[in-house]
Amino acid sequence: MTPGEYKSCGRDIAILYSFAETPFGRALVLSTDRGICGIEFTDGKDSAALKKAKARWPLSTFAANPESENEISARIFEEPSAQRQPEKPRLLLRGTNFQIQVWSALLRIPEGSIVSYGDIAKAIGKPSASRAVGTALAANTIAFLIPCHRVLRASGLFKSYRWGAPRRWSMLGWEAARREGEHINASVPVGSLAKTARAS
- For the annotated catalytic residues, the residue numbers are 148
Distances (CA, A) of 40 to 12, 20, 93, 176, 196: 22, 10, 14, 22, 24
Q: Which amino acid is at 111?
A: E
* Coil, helix or strand at residue 114: coil
Sign of CA dihedral 101, 102, 105, 111: negative
Contact present, 111 and 177 (Cβ < 8 Å)? no
Distances (CA, A) of 9 to 49, 95, 122: 18, 10, 30
Could you count the other beta carbons within 10 Å of the beta carbon of residue 178? 14
Contact present, 97 and 183 (Cβ < 8 Å)? no
Q: What's the rounded Cα separation, in Å, for the pair 162 and 107?
A: 18
Give Dmax (Cα) for the chain.
Answer: 46
